[in-house]
C-alpha cells in the first residue's frame, strides 16, 4: 500500500527513540494528526526482527509503549548505516511504498560524529535529492562538539541538501512555555514596556534535574552539562528572553533577532562553577577519573542597548534536589518602596517550563484585615491544572511540524554557530570540579560569588 508519510529513523535502537520518538508518534497517530497511511522504518545494526526490536524499545521506554499499534506502523531494517552498499535495503523498501506526494522524513538520532558519513550515504544512495522539499532530514542535538566540528558538519550538509530540507532539533523549542515566551513578552502591555535594563534587575535561567545520566555514559561523558544543556536549551531560552522586537513573527525575522543576542554575549569567568555529582564516577561506563561536569553555573551579560548591565544567571545540573526548569525575571524595586522600611519583595515573573508549565507573578500586597502588614503573594497560571490536562510533549510538536514542513521551532545554522562560539569561550576556563551531593553544597558557592541564591 502506498504511504502518505514515511519516517526513517537512523540510530533507532537508542533511548531517544524508545523514550521520546515512538511515544510521540503513537500519540500523533491516535489523535489523527499524522496520516493514517504512515510508515516508520527503524534502522539498526543489531540483528532483530521487528517484534524483538519493539520489545527492546518497550524495555527502554519510561512508560509502556502501545506495541499493538506500533507493530502495524514500524518495520525494523537491519543494516549498517555507515556502509553505502547497505542503503539499497532501505531505498528499495521506501521506493515500493512511496508516491510523488509522500512526505519523507529522515531522522538522524545518532551522535554528531556519524552525521557526515550518514548524510553522505543518504545523498549518494539518492534517498534524499537535493532541493526536493517533500524530503527532509532531521538532526538531533548536539549539532557538533564545538564550533570547529559544528562548522565542518554544516558545510558538508550544504553540499548534499538544501537548507530548506534541514531540520536541527532543540527539543526545548517544542515545549509549551518556551513557545509561549514571545506571547508573554509581546502580547502583554505590562511586560512590553518594562522589558529592559531600566526595570529588570536580573534574569535567572534554571534547568535542574533530579536524575543522573540514565545509562547514557557513552554520550554524556564526552559532552558534560555545558555542551549538553547550555549550548542548546539554555542559549535558546536566553535569546528568546533578551531578543528585541522582530520585524515580523515569521521564522526568519525572529531568528535574526535571536542571533543578535547570541552575538552580544559575554560571561564572567570568576562566577563560573563546575560540579560533578557524587557517585558519577561509579556510573556504568564512566571513566574512573572523568573530569566531566554534571553541573554548571555562571553569570552572563547580553551587551545590547536593551539588556546591557543586567546579569543573566544560568544554571543546570543533574542529581539535584528536583526536576525544575524555569526562568525568573526579577524587577527593580519601585522608587516608593525604597523609602518605606517594610519587608517588601521585588516583583518577579516566573516562566515555568517543568515539571508543570505556567506563569507566576510575585507581587507585594497588604495583609487583609485590620493591619498594615505586607505580604508577598504569587498570582499563578498553571496550564495543566486548568483546561489543558493533556499537554503535548515537545517531540510531538516538533515531529508534527516536520511533517508539515514548518521550520520556526528549529534552529538555524547561525544560532548554533554563535552559541558554540560562546561555549568554546567558557570551555577555555576550566575550573576545579566541585563534588556535590545536593544544591546545599552548591548554593553557598553561588551566593559567595554573586550574592544570589539559585535554590
Site residues (CB under 6 A) for ligand BG6?
209, 228, 325, 354
Cell numbers describing residue 326: 524555569
CA angle 134, 136, 137 (to 5 degrees): 160
Residue 375 is inside which H or E element, if any? strand 374-382
- The greatest distance separating any two alpha carbons of the chain, rounded to the nearest whole angstrom, comes to 83
When the beta carbons of 165 and 292 are compared against ligand BG6, the nearer one is 292
When the beta carbons of 98 and 175 are compared against ligand BG6, the nearer one is 175
For the question of residue 406 being annotated catalytic, the response is no
Cα separation, 212 vs 221, whole angstroms: 12
User: Which residue is associated with the grid cell 566540528?
Assistant: 149
Cα separation, 170 vs 397, whole angstroms: 12
State the minimum distance, in angstroms, from the CB of residue 30 to ligand BG6. Answer: 22
Q: Which residue is nearest to ligand BG6 (CB)?
A: 228
User: Which residue is associated with the grid cell 515539571?
Assistant: 355
Cα separation, 399 vs 403, whole angstroms: 6
State the minimum distance, in angstroms, from the CB of residue 228 to ligand BG6. Answer: 5
- Active-site choice (171, 196, 233, 263): 233
CA angle 134, 23, 120 (to 5 degrees): 40
Cα separation, 236 vs 192, whole angstroms: 20
Residue 311 is inside which H or E element, if any? strand 311-317
Contacts 24+ apart (CB under 8 A), 302-307: 302/238, 302/242, 302/261, 302/264, 302/265, 303/264, 303/265, 303/266, 304/242, 304/244, 304/260, 304/261, 304/264, 306/195, 306/196, 306/197, 306/242, 306/244, 307/196, 307/197, 307/200, 307/242
The DSSP bridge partners found for residue 208 are 317, 324
State the minimum distance, in angstroms, from the CB of residue 395 to ligand BG6. Answer: 9
- Show which residues are catalytic: 233
Amino acid at each position: 500500500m502506498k504511504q502518505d508519510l514515511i519516517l526513517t529513523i537512523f540510530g533507532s535502537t537508542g533511548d531517544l527513540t524508545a523514550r521520546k520518538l515512538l511515544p510521540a508518534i503513537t500519540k500523533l497517530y491516535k489523535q489523527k494528526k499524522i496520516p493514517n497511511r504512515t510508515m516508520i522504518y527503524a534502522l539498526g545494526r543489531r540483528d532483530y526482527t521487528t517484534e524483538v526490536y519493539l520489545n527492546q524499545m518497550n524495555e527502554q521506554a519510561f512508560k509502556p509503549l502501545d506495541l499493538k499499534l506500533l507493530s502495524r506502523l514500524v518495520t525494523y531494517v537491519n543494516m549498517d548505516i555507515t556502509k553505502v552498499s547497505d542503503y539499497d535495503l532501505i531505498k528499495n523498501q521506501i521506493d515500493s511504498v512511496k508516491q510523488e506526494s509522500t512526505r519523507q522524513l529522515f531522522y538522524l538520532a545518532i551522535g554528531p560524529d556519524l552525521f557526515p558519513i550518514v548524510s553522505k550515504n543518504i545523498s549518494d544512495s539518492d534517498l534524499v535529492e537535493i532541493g526536493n522539499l517533500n524530503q527532509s532530514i532531521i538532526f538531533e542535538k548536539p549539532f557538533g562538539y564545538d564550533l570547529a566540528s559544528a562548522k565542518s558538519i554544516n558545510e558538508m550538509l550544504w553540499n548534499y541538501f538544501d537548507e530548506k530540507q534541514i531540520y536541527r532539533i532543540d527539543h526545548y523549542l517544542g515545549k509549551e512555555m518556551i513557545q509561549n515566551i514571545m506571547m508573554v513578552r509581546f502580547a502583554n502591555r505590562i511586560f512590553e514596556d518594562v522589558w529592559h535594563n531600566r526595570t529588570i534587575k536580573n534574569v535567572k535561567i534554571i534547568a535542574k534535574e533530579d536524575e543522573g545520566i540514565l545509562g547514557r555514559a557513552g554520550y554524556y561523558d564526552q559532552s558534560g552539562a555545558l555542551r549538553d544543556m547550555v549550548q542548546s536549551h539554555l542559549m535558546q531560552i536566553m535569546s528568546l528572553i533578551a531578543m528585541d522586537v522582530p520585524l515580523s513573527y515569521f521564522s526568519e525575522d525572529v531568528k535574526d533577532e535571536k542571533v543578535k543576542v547570541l552575538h552580544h554575549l559575554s560571561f564572567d569567568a570568576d562566577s563560573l562553577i563546575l560540579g560533578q555529582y557524587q557517585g558519577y564516577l561509579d556510573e556504568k561506563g564512566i571513566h574512573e577519573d572523568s573530569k566531566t561536569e554534571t553541573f554548571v553555573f555562571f553569570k552572563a551579560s547580553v551587551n545590547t542597548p536593551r539588556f546591557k548591565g543586567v546579569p543573566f544567571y544560568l544554571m543546570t545540573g543533574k542529581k539535584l534536589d528536583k526536576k525544575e526548569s524555569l526562568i525568573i525575571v526579577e524587577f527593580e524595586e519601585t522608587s516608593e518602596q525604597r523609602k518605606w522600611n517594610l519587608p517588601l519583595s521585588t516583583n518577579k515573573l516566573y516562566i515555568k517550563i517543568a515539571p508543570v508549565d505556567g506563569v507566576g507573578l510575585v507581587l507585594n500586597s497588604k495583609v487583609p484585615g485590620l493591619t498594615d502588614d505586607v505580604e508577598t503573594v504569587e498570582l499563578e497560571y498553571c496550564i495543566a491544572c486548568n483546561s489543558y490536562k493533556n499537554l503535548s510533549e515537545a517531540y510531538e510538536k516538533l515531529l508534527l511540524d516536520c511533517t508539515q514542513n514548518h521550520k520556526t521551532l528549529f534552529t538555524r545554522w547561525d544560532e548554533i554557530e554563535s552559541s558554540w562560539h560562546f561555549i568554546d569561550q567558557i570551555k577555555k576556563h576550566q575550573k576545579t570540579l566541585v563534588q556535590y551531593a545536593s544544591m546545599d553544597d552548591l548554593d553557598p558557592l553561588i551566593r559567595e560569588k554573586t550574592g544570589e541564591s539559585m535554590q
